[in-house]
Amino acid sequence: MKKIITSALVLVACSYANAQKIQVLDRCESLDDKPYQWYSNGGQTKLTEDHKEGTYAVGAKTEKAERLRKIYAQPFNTGVTKDNGYIAFWLFVERPELLNGNGQLALSSNASADKDALGYPFGGLKIGSTKLVAGWNHVIAPLSSFKDIHDQPNLAAINYFRILLYNEKDDFTPQEMKIDNIRFSTDKAQLEASAK
């Protein structure tokens, strides 16, 4: 009997540990209030029912490079390190052909993309192994491929997220982008499974 109870406790503990592998930074169910609201340079952020998880996603329509940005009131513990962690999220791109392929995904523990930050430079509209296409894209990128920006951030206290994507030169056509379900894990396969 004691052995059965011990086995059951081990199973419960393992299940709990597995459930804790994904840390959700933002389910994108709310715009939040100033100064901690979702922001888009040149566009009005809004909640949209076209989403991938929950009830809403956050979207904005703009031609400016700073598509979506948020400062978080409470520092967030990603539960990962730069060496072992992944970031995953859903990103909707209306017209990728209007983008020149350059941009940056930034994370910071200093409420800014210019200090104590990690930056992932987009190249050829690729984020991690995901090539952006029209519509929803499930993005997974290893933090080990991010570059330090003026000192490495504290990944146990992230409070800033930003996506920059530049239009082709002299193209000022606004386009809609949306984001949903931003999360971290050391387990890439679990992040992939959580998107299904």
183 in Cβ contact with 138 (< 8 Å): no
Q: What contacts 140, CB < 8 A, 6 or more positions away?
A: 86, 87, 88, 128, 129, 130, 188, 191, 192
Q: Residue 20 has what pLDDT? A: 53
Q: Residue 139 has what pLDDT? A: 94
| Residue 129 to residue 121: CA distance in whole angstroms | 13
With respect to residue 175, please indicate whether it lies within any of the assigned structural domains: yes
| Residue 93 to residue 90: CA distance in whole angstroms | 10
With respect to residue 3, please indicate whether it lies within any of the assigned structural domains: no
Q: Residue 102 has what pLDDT? A: 84
* Below-70 pLDDT ranges, the chain: 1-20
Q: Is 16 exposed, middle or buried (0-12, 13-18, 19+ CB in 10 A)?
A: exposed
With respect to residue 77, please indicate whether it lies within any of the assigned structural domains: yes
With respect to residue 2, please indicate whether it lies within any of the assigned structural domains: no
Q: What contacts 148, CB < 8 A, 6 or more positions away?
A: 117, 118
Q: Domain containing 63 — which CATH number?
A: 2.60.120.430
Beta pairing partners, 118: 107, 148
Query: Is the preceding peptide bond at 35 cis, omega within 30 degrees of 0?
Result: yes
Q: Is 146 exposed, middle or buried (0-12, 13-18, 19+ CB in 10 A)?
A: buried
Using CA atoms, how far residue 16 sits from 20, 78, 130, 195, in Å, is 6, 17, 30, 20
| Residue 7 to residue 124: CA distance in whole angstroms | 50
DSSP string, 7-73: HHHHHHHHHHHHHTS-EEEE-------TTSS-BBTTB--EEES--SSSS-EEEEEESSSEEEEEEEE
With respect to residue 4, please indicate whether it lies within any of the assigned structural domains: no
With respect to residue 105, please indicate whether it lies within any of the assigned structural domains: yes
Number of domains in the chain: 1
With respect to residue 139, please indicate whether it lies within any of the assigned structural domains: yes
pTM: 0.87
Q: Domain containing 188: what range?
A: 23-194
Q: Residue 15 has what pLDDT? A: 44
DSSP 89: E
With respect to residue 12, please indicate whether it lies within any of the assigned structural domains: no
Q: Residue 105 has what pLDDT? A: 92
